[in-house]
Amino acid sequence: MIIAFIGLGNMGGGMAANLVKAGHTVRAFDLAPAALERAAVSGCATFTSAREAVDGAEAVVSMLPNGTIVRAVYTADVFGTAPAGALLLDCSTIDVATARDVADTAAAAGYAMLDAPVSGGIGGANAGTLTFMVGGTPEGFAQAEPILKAMGKAVIHAGAPGAGQAAKICNNMILGGTMIATCEAFALAEKLGLDLQTFYDISSVSSGQSWSMTSYCPVPGVGPQSPADNGYQGGFAAALMLKDLKLALEAGAATGTPLAIGTRAAELYTAFAESGHGNTDFSGIIETLR
């Protein structure tokens, strides 16, 4: 299949490379020359504009920073340029309202569009082990599933347009909260004189167990390999966690849903990012909680 890929940053670059490995022809575009160079090395054909990349594509995949950019790219460069009937897959994490609005505009222009945000971080993007949470029609999902499976280990239809984004922001609000609780628990355990490996051995098989502890432990040398073992570099940047928390809070305000833990997590990650740690892995917040 001929697939245009727009947005080749930390996540998109690995995802596009995995589409090439799966045998697809990938027409890639990014504003950053270095990202285009990396895409070329991975086997993508590169282009100097999004319009050129989507021309002739059977499917378009995007991984972009925010809803404003998603709307602008699809409105200006994809709708009317991609062939009629091309499948459109936006894997960015954006607000639910924009995802639904752009999908409606796509449908009016004759395209099936799905929101398909991901979980799994840079490592998952490179390894092809992402989880995709997909919003769109059942017919569109059936078309999209084989493409997404080339980039991930799990592809789940969450519901109608916008449902993928809803699932992503709710999931990451849980992640933000549990990581802070896990960091606080390790900090307290340390000050109470517990050996941290021993505490991990106990809590990882007890009621305190969570993904933040057993798959992404914020303490170096404890549990499986994680960004904590690399100076909190790589993985999922704190600025991106903050972005997702803010999206959850916006959704909470729009729906009248009180989000006390989500609000406090956003406050803590705001302070962490503003102290110069926006590019630090989000588990690095333990350093400020110790």
Which residues are identified as catalytic?
168
Torsional class of 234: left (φ above 0), alpha (ψ -120 to 50), beta (otherwise): left
Cα separation values, 54 from 22, 57, 103, 275, 282, Å: 19, 5, 17, 40, 34
Q: Are 63 and 12 in contact (CB under 8 A)?
A: yes
Amino acid letter, residue 231:
G
Nearest to 221 by CA among 197, 198, 188: 197
d(CA 116, CA 145): 10
All residues at 6 or more sequence positions from 101 whose CB lies less than 8 Å from its CB, including other chains: 71
In whole angstroms, what is the distance from residue 229 CA to residue 192 CA?
A: 23
Contacts of 202 (CB under 8 A, 6+ apart): none
